[in-house]
Amino acid sequence: MLPKKVVIIGGGPAALTAAIYLRRGGASATILEKEALGGQIADCPKVDNYPACPSISGLELADKMANQAMELGAEIELDEALSLQKEGGLFSVKGNYGTYTADAVIIANGAKHAHLGVPGEDRLSGRGVSYCAVCDGAFFKNQETVVIGDGNSALQYAILLSSLCKKVTVLTLFDRFFGEESLAKTLSSLQNVEVIHNASTTEFLGENKLEKVLYLDKVGSETKEAPCQGAFIAIGQKPDNDRFRPLVELDKGYIVTDETMATLTPGLYAAGDTRVKKIRQVVTADSDGAIAALSALSYLKNQS
């Protein structure tokens, strides 16, 4: 008998872990990922709290996961899932380059970088405005940059950029950081980093490339500017799951699941940052992926 087919939408830690468990469980696993494998963890300069890997770059960790999945026989398709349907017990995932049929599906597409939505952001995206310091930081060596955000990503971006840039200005919306204390402590020790709290970014200015960031000083109610050649926005994530309606229930855009990662549609599961959950870390994404895969294997067994 041919192995049951499972399509995994997404290529981050949850997806790769699911693929590993599916292959070891005897099911086929096809990963649909429109960009590079690894998801947002691949953009993380350093991961310090992953078990057995006390200090590893996000890209290296992602590569290890991807290699393990592929060595076990997981298939990779560089495609984007545009829509999802179920008919006659089978799922149909329509992509840009083909349609994929599956006995079960795991949605593990993570979430996208959130945008500020202020003037100049879209126009200057790729011309100084960026959402990934790992990807684009080297372009601003010995220049001045701004990091916007107050969580772990913003802290990590600022620390990374401090080793490359002449000056790094960090703008936080509130009066403190909300990331790990150890990261905030490291940042405070860096001589070329200036932190400005209570700063609400209002506009990105520049003709053909970024020249400065305008922000509102919420304490003094005064608009100020931060001259820079690069600005890195790290204000969180936003899900992209409307295309999976009505097969899933959404809560603020995130997919609702039970503890087995099951959605309201039998045979359809969700794992990682794409689903409703309180903690979004690599290790919890791994856990979700493993649970989703084991649940899918159980579902497939019962359908035989």
303 and 32 Cβ atoms separated by less than 8 Å: no
The ranges assigned to domains in the chain are: 5-111+239-303, 129-233
CATH superfamily of 129-233: FAD/NAD(P)-binding domain (3.50.50.60)
Query: How buried is 7 (Cβ within 10 angstroms: 0-12 exposed, 13-18 middle, 19+ buried)?
Result: buried
Q: What is the pLDDT of residue 2?
A: 56
CATH architecture of 5-111+239-303: 3-Layer(bba) Sandwich (3.50)
Q: What is the pLDDT of residue 179?
A: 92
Can you tell me the distance from the alpha carbon of 42 to that of 46, in angstroms, rounded to the nearest whole number?
Answer: 10
Instruction: State pLDDT tens for residues 136-148.
Output: 898 999 999 999 9
Q: Which residues of the chain, if any, have pLDDT below 50?
A: none
Q: What is the pLDDT of residue 280?
A: 84
b/e sequence 229-248, b meaning 16+ C-beta within 10 Å: bbbbbbbebebebebbeebb
Strand partners, 8: 31, 106
Query: How buried is 87 (Cβ within 10 angstroms: 0-12 exposed, 13-18 middle, 19+ buried)?
Result: exposed
Predicted model pTM: 0.80
Instruction: State pLDDT tens for residues 62-87.
Output: 999 999 999 999 999 999 999 999 99
Can you tell me the distance from the alpha carbon of 273 to that of 279, in angstroms, rounded to the nearest whole number?
Answer: 9
Q: What is the pLDDT of residue 35?
A: 85
Q: What is the pLDDT of residue 220?
A: 85
Can you tell me the distance from the alpha carbon of 113 to that of 229, in angstroms, rounded to the nearest whole number?
Answer: 21
Do 5-111+239-303 and 129-233 have matching folds? yes
Catalytic residues: 132, 135-136
